[in-house]
Structure 1
Amino acid sequence: MSSKSWSPRSLAAQAMGKIDPLTKAVVPPIHVATTYIRDEDNGYSSGFIYGRPDNETVHEAQAVLAMLEEAKAGALLFGSGMAAATSVFQALAPGDHVVASKVMYWALRAWLLNEATRWGLTIDFVETDDLAALKAAVKPGVTKLVWVETPSNPLWTITDIAAAAEIAHKAGARLAVDSTCASPVHTRPLTLGADIVMHAATKVLNGHSDVVAGALCAREDDAFWNRIKTVRKGQGGILGPFEAYLLMRGMRTLHLRQERQSASAMALAERLSAHPLVARVLYPGLPQHPGHDIAARQMENGFGYMLSVQVTGGETAAVKTAAHVELYKRATSLGGVESLIEHRASIEGAGSPCPTDLLRLSTGIEDLEDLYADLDQALRAGHR
Structure 2
Amino acid sequence: MNLFVKKCSRLKIFDVLVVLSVLTCFTSAPYIGYYLFGHSYALVSGGLSIGVFLLAYCYLDSHIDIWMKVVLLFMLSFIFYGCLMIIVTQELSDFRKGVGMAMKCIYVLGSCLIIRSKYEKYLNIFMKVNALIVLMSIILFLILLIGIQWPSTDFLKQDGRMHYLYFPLGATNARYLFGYFTFIRIAGFADEPGALALILTYLLVLNEFTFKSNKYRIIFFIGGIMTFSMAFMITIVPILYYWFRIGLFKIKKFFVLGILFASLSIYFVIQNDDIYKGLDTLIFNRFEKDDSGNYNGDNRSFAIPLQKQAFQSSPILGVGFSIDNVYKYNLGYPSFYSYLAMHGLFGYLFFYIPFLYIAVKYIKRNELLLLLAIALNYLQRPSIEEMFPLICFSLIFYSSSTTFKLKYDNGNNSIIK
TM-score by length of 1: 0.24
Structure with higher RCO (Cα < 8 A, 6+ apart): 2
TM-score (norm 2): 0.23
Higher strand share: 1
Comparing both structures, which one devotes a greater share of its residues to helix?
Answer: 2
